[in-house]
Amino acid sequence: MNKIQGLIAAPFSTQDEKGNILYDKIPLYHDFLVKNKLAGAFINGSTGEGVSLSQQERMKTTEYWAKAAKSSRLKIINLVGGTSYVECIENAQHSKETGVDAIALLAPYYFKPANAKMLVEFCAKVAAAVPEMPVYFYHIPVLTGCHVSMFEFLQAADGVIPNLAGIKYTHEDFMDFMSCLHFKDGKYDMLWGRDENLLSALVLGTRGGVGSTFNYSAPLYLKLIEAFDAGDLKLARELQQKSIDMIRLLGKYGGIATGKAYMKYIGFDLGAFRLPVKNMSDAEYSNFNGDVKKLDMEEWFSNV
């Protein structure tokens, strides 16, 4: 199981104004990510509204992404669950059949695991159904409410889940993250999931990240990584601040749906988010448009 280096985008769902999934846009989306030098796509995640899609919609989305990436270098990681390990297994086996590169698991977020051992038991049940596929765990406690230490998770999972590849780490606990990076001499692939402090994770040793803002601002982060690797920390810090300034607008305009507004701004309209996520009104989008222009970031947006 090779570690993934570079930027992995978390693609948005492709919808029309009525909330129907526009599957035919997925090949265009794939080409857009390849054009902007992304290393992979983490599909059906938070940004992709996996939890808001039906089982059939998630599977069909997976099929379209797998088909689009069949002859490309883009790695596809599919988030398969979930609160039900039965559905997770169904999605995992479907992922194997469609030919995606890896799957990811989410902590059950209604009946929550009490400790690392219970979380590992849940994940192991799904991973065992696809023993030849790399499996990632998606750690995002702000949404799942599962605050199990990932260092404890790795300690409990090592040897129990043979096909565990690593963790998509979307949390701010750098001590826990660094311990995971160094566990068993760096055995596991630790993918950073907070775009606004990617630089800090690079300092700790990560070489890959998964993010929603990579969709519309890949050149910014690629340059940030290049500056860090060249030892130009002044430039790297300046670029990280630009990322933070850009991300602040997500909070100002209501959260995750603002990402689709950024996509619309750069010329790739992907529709709206499903309820209960709040979308911008036309007046709000007009104000947002003005705020984006003030960022003076045109050179750092992805090319459509």
Active site residues: 138, 168
Question: Token pair for residue 42?
Answer: 């983490």
Give the pLDDT score at 81: 83
Contacts of 196 (CB under 8 A, 6+ apart): 240, 243, 244, 247
Judged against a pLDDT cut of 90, whether residue 235 lies above it is answered with yes
pLDDT of 219 reads: 98
* DSSP run (H or E) holding 97: helix 85-98
Could you say which DSSP state residue 58 is in? H
Closest C-alpha to 169, from 159, 184, 179, 158: 179
What was the pLDDT predicted at 153? 98
The crossing angle, in degrees rounded to 10, of helices 214-229 and 258-266 is: 90
Is 253's pLDDT higher than 90? Answer: yes
Q: How confident is the model at residue 105 (pLDDT cuts 50, 70, 90)?
A: very high
| C-beta atoms surrounding 298 within 10 Å | 9
- The residue behind tokens 């998509």 is 168
Say if 183 falls within a structural domain.
Answer: yes
Q: Quote the domain boundaries for residue 157.
A: 6-300
The per-residue pLDDT for 96 is: 97
pLDDT in tens, 39-64: 999 999 999 999 999 999 999 999 99
Q: CA 92, CA 86: separation in Å to the nearest integer?
A: 10
Q: Tell me the pLDDT tens digit for each residue of 110-156.
A: 999 999 999 999 999 999 999 999 999 999 999 999 999 999 999 99
Mean per-residue pLDDT for 219-242? 98
Tens digit of each residue's pLDDT (9 = 90 or more) over 7-29: 999 999 999 988 899 999 999 99
**Which residues have C-beta within 8 Å of that of residue 198, sequence separation ≥ 6?**
192, 209, 211, 221, 224, 225, 240, 243
Inside any domain, residue 295: yes
For the domain that residue 239 is a member of, what is the CATH number?
Answer: 3.20.20.70
Q: What is the pLDDT of residue 116?
A: 98
Rounded Cα–Cα distance for residues 136 and 189 (Å): 8
Q: In angstroms, rounded to a whole number, what is the distance separating the alpha carbons of residues 138 and 166?
A: 9
> Has residue 148 been placed in a domain?
yes
Alpha helices in 116-232 (DSSP H): 116-127, 141-144, 150-157, 174-182, 198-204, 214-229
Quick check: is 1 in a domain?
no
Q: Give yes or no for residue 2 having a pLDDT over 90.
A: no
pTM greater than the 0.85 cutoff: yes
Average pLDDT, the chain: 97
Total number of domains in the chain: 1
| Average pLDDT, integer, range 287-302 | 97
Residue 1 has pLDDT above 80, yes or no: no
CA separation for the pair 5, 208 (Å, rounded): 5
At residue 82, the pLDDT reads 85
